[in-house]
Structure 1
Amino acid sequence: MILSPFEWTIAKRYMLPGRGEAFIAMVAGISLVAVMLGVAALVIVMSVMNGFRAELMDKIVGLNGHAIVQGYGGRLPQWQDVLKDVRETPGVTRASPLIEQPLLATYNGRVEAVLVRGNLPEDIQRLADKNVLGNLDALQPGAQKVAVGSRLAQNMGARIGDTITIINPQGRSTPFGTVPREIGYEIAAIFEIGIYDYDQAFVVMPIEDAQTLLLTGDQIGMIEITTENPDTVGETLAPIRGRLQGQAIVSDWKTINSSLFEALAVERVAMFVVLSIIVLVAVFNILSSLIMLVRAKTRDIAIMRTMGATRRSILKIFVTAGFLIGALGTGAGLALGFVALAFRQSAVRGVEAITGQELWDPSIRFLTTLPARTDPAEVTTIVIMALVLSFLATLYPAFKAASTDPVQVLRYE
């Protein structure tokens, strides 16, 4: 919609009402601020929720792979043949044997439930970028050394070089009953994955040491799989599911964490709908301010019509005046949203310092920091939605102004 110099001059004049129209200006200003806050809230909340999902997925998938092949009863027979078959499957980039077993660990009189993971050396090195203390290279078969999560080390009061005792209830049988198996392991490294449940429970050791601890011999419990595309992991592993039917269970990350990610998806849609109402309320403010402006300018409209202004010109003037309020509010909202996202962690710490309350509890939120990931397509959708609603709000007042009859208005002037 291209405006002539005359139309643009009048539109600018109406966007900046005079002293006698301060109330109209105040309503228009409130409309702009409301659009700004609505757009900013949508950008911030949707980016944080996207970041939460992405970070959660990256950390879970990064540690556990995209899928696992798990034997019935925690034992995978003929796992060497299964491992070879999995590695030869098109679309599979990595497959590694894995032992994972919940046990108990003690240190200095403290007892904690732990999840013992037995990995190959190359899989242990995948924790290198998450290692905060110690040396992962020290985890060699037979060295009796382990890596533990940062929260677990903190809860037990253990440090690098301390020895923790891991208890396996399935120990050796004696005339007096089964004696639990207890083995001491030196803490060689402390890692922090960023997911509270993992950091407070995981104990990583070489797979040979895990087999010795659990008395499984050469057997393993599962095979960890990584594929080229996590979103198509089901289609990639479909042939393996068919061949292993009755021998093992093939579970991908979508199945394992289905309840969590489905809840996030539902919450994401609900938050978008709820926050969109803020923009809708702001749009009604634009509508009301334009209606008041049209009523205040009825005489001016009639004079412009008698001077040759067309209905189309009057329509364009008021559509422009209202639409620019929405456009300026949208632009300011984007700027405010991006600034808030850039300083989100500082803002959380500031509020915590002022209130004395912990806003981001890792034990509840899964992640240790507030994540954010902005989706350009989503931001574009928010902008288009705000602009379209702003445009629609201008139509009724603009058509009302364009239909003004100058004869009726000026009859008694």
Structure 2
Amino acid sequence: MILSPFERMIAKRYLLPGKGEAFIALVAGISVGVVMLSVAMLVVVMSVMNGFRAELLDKIVGLNGHAIVQAYGGRLDNWEEMLAEVRQTPGVVEASPLIEQPLLVTFNGRVEGIFVRGQTQDDLAGLADRVLLGNISELRPDAGNVAIGSRLAQNIGARVGDTITIINPQGRATPFGTSMRQVGYRVAAIFEVGIYDYDEKFVMMPMADAQTLLLMGDSVGMIEVKVTDPDKVGEILAPVQEKVAGRAVVADWKTMNATLFEALQVERVAMFFALSFMVLVAAFNILSSLVMLVRAKSRDIAIMRTMGATRRSLMKIFVTTGFTVGAIGTVAGLGFGFLVLIFRQQIVRAIEIVTGQNLWDPSIRFLSTLPSRTDPLEVVGIVLLALTLSFLATLYPALKAASTDPVEVLRYE
């Protein structure tokens, strides 16, 4: 919408009301503030929700892959042949054997339930960037070393260099019954994945050590698979499911974490829908401020009409005035929202200090820190929503101004 110099001058004048129009200026300022806060809140909430989903997916996939091929009974005997078939499947990026078994660990009289994970040397090396203390390279077959999660280390009071005892209830049979296997392992490294349950339960060790501890021989528990597109993991691994039918089952990340990710998706949609009403409220504020402006400027409008101003010009003036208020609020909201996202962790800590409450408990939230990941397309959608509602809010006041009858207004002047 191109404005003439006259229209631009009047619109600018109405954007900055005079001394006698302080109340109109206040309402317009409130409109800008409400638009700013609504846009900022939408950006912050949607970014946090996206970050929560993305961080969970990244961390879960970092440990479990996009899918697993698990044999009925929990043991793959001829896994080398199956591993080769999986690796040859189009769309599969990586596949590796894995052992995962729930056991018990004890240290200094403390007992905790754990998950023992036996992995290849390459997979263990991938944990190097998540190690807080120690050296993951010390986890070699038959070396008797393990890596444990940071929360587990806190719970049992273990440090790097300490020897923990892992208990396997399924021990060897003896004339006096089955004896539990109790094997001591040295803590060579302490890692932190960032997901509370993993950091609290997982103990990593080389594949050969896990096979020895669990009396599995040369068997493995499952095959971990990573694919090119996580959202199409079912389609990519469909041929694998057909090949291993009757011997094993394929479970992808969607199936294994269906409840969690479906809940996140529902919450994400619900939050966007609810917070969108704030933008609608902001649009009504713009509408009310423009209605007040039209009523206050009825005499000016009548004079401009008698001087030759067209109805189209008046509509353009008031649409521009209201839309500019919405645009200023939208831009300010984007800036404020991104500022909050940058300092989100510091804001959470400050609120915790003031209220004395733990706002981000990792045992409940799964993640150790408040995540954030901004989707550019969502930001564009939020901006378009705010600008569209701001534009629609200007139409009624603009039509009202354009339909002003100068004869009626100036009759008693």
Q: Specify the TM-score bucket, using the shorter chain as the normaliser.
A: over 0.9
What is the CA–CA distance in structure 2 between the aligned matches of 1:34 and 1:67, rounded to whole Å? 45
TM score, norm. by length of structure 2: 0.98
Structure 1 counterpart of 2:203: 203
Structure 1 SS opposite 2:73: helix
Structure 1 partner of 2:98: 98
Partner of 1:213 in structure 2?
213
Q: 2:109 — aligned with what? A: 109
Instruction: Tell me the amino acid that sits aligned with residue 131 of structure 1.
Output: V
Q: SS state of the match for residue 277, structure 1?
A: helix
**What residue in structure 2 maps to residue 131 of structure 1?**
131
> Whole-Å Cα distance in 2 between the matches of residues 408 and 353 of structure 1?
62
Unaligned runs of 5+ in 2: none
8 A Cα contact 2:92 2:225, kept in partner: yes
Distance in 2, matches of 1:366 and 1:411, equals 71
Q: Which shifted more, 195-204 or 21-30?
A: 21-30
Local SS of the residue matching 1:351: helix
Q: Secondary structure at the match of 2:116?
A: strand
CA deviations on 1:158-205 (whole Å, 9 max, x unpaired) are 001101111111112234332211111110111110110000000000
Rounded to whole Å, the distance in 2 between the matches of 1:307 and 1:94 is 77
What secondary structure, in the 3-state scheme, does the structure 2 residue paired with 1:73 have?
coil
Percent identity of equivalent pairs: 71
Do structure 1's residue 156 and structure 2's residue 156 form an aligned pair?
Answer: yes
Moved more, 323-332 or 69-78: 69-78
Distance across 1 between alignment mates of 2:350 and 2:21 = 41
Tell me the distance in 2 between the aligned counterparts of 1:256 and 1:332: 42
Q: What do residues 356-406 of structure 1 show as CA deviations (whole Å, max 9, x unaligned)?
A: 221111111111111111111110110011000000000001001101111
The corresponding residue for 1:318 is: 318
Query: Is the 2:86–2:240 Cα contact (8 Å) retained in structure 1?
Result: yes
**How do 1:390-409 and structure 2 match up within 5 A?**
390-409=390-409
2:223 counterpart residue number: 223
Q: Say which is worse superposed, 11-20 or 198-207, in terms of deviation.
A: 11-20
Q: Output the amino acid matched with 1:345.
A: Q
The reply on whether 1:360 has 2:360 as its aligned counterpart is: yes
One-letter amino acid of the counterpart of residue 341, structure 2: L
- Tell me the equivalent position of 1:118: 118
Equivalent residue of 1:93, what SS?
strand
Q: Which amino acid is the alignment partner of residue 116 of structure 2? A: V
Residue 184 of structure 2: aligned partner:
184
- Per-residue deviation, 1:270: 0.6
TM-score (norm 1): 0.98
Q: Which residue of 2 aligns with 1:54?
A: 54
Q: Which residue of 2 aligns with 1:34?
A: 34
Matched, 1:144 2:144: yes
Look up the equivalent residue of 1:211 and give its one-letter code. Q
CA distance in 2, matches of 1:412, 1:93: 83
Q: Give the Cα–Cα distance (whole angstroms) in 1 for the partners of residues 203 and 70 of structure 2.
A: 20
Matches within 5 A, 1:377-396: 377-396=377-396
Give a deviation string over 1:246-270, Cα, whole Å, max 9, x none. Answer: 1101011111111111111111111
Distance 1:207 1:117 in 2: 8
How many angstroms does 1:319 deviate by? 0.5
Shift of 1:34: 0.2
- In the aligned structure 2, how far is the partner of 1:348 from the partner of 1:81? 51
- Check conservation: 2:102, 2:115, Cα contact below 8 A: yes
Q: Match of 1:112, as an amino acid?
A: E
Task: Report the AA paired with residue 90 of structure 2.
Answer: P
**Does the residue aligned with 1:200 lie in a helix, a strand or coil?**
helix
Give 1:309's aligned residue. 309
1 CA distance for matches of 2:412 and 2:279? 42
1:281 matched to 2:281: yes
Residues 267-313 of structure 1: per-residue CA shift (max 9 Å, x gap): 11111111111111011011111111111111111110000000000
- Give a deviation string over 1:333-353, Cα, whole Å, max 9, x none: 001001111111111111122
Instruction: Give the C-alpha shift of residue 77 in structure 1.
Output: 3.1
State the match for 2:328 in structure 1: 328
Pair 1:258-2:231 in alignment: no
**Runs of 4+ displaced beyond 6 Å:** none
AA aligned opposite 2:185: Y
Letter in 2 for 1:218: D
Q: Counterpart of 1:340?
A: 340
For residues 77 and 166 of structure 2, the distance between their equivalents in structure 1, rounded to whole angstroms, comes to: 26
**3-state secondary structure, aligned to 2:126:** helix
State the SS of the aligned residue for 2:98.
Answer: strand
Alignment-derived partner of residue 84 in structure 1: 84
Shift in Å at residue 40 of structure 1?
0.3
Aligned to 2:242: 242
Q: Which moved more, 1:175-184 or 1:145-154?
A: 175-184
Q: What is the total number of aligned residue pairs between the two structures? A: 413
d(CA) in 1 for partners of 2:312, 2:58: 55
Aligned-partner Cα distance in 1 for 2:135–2:328: 54
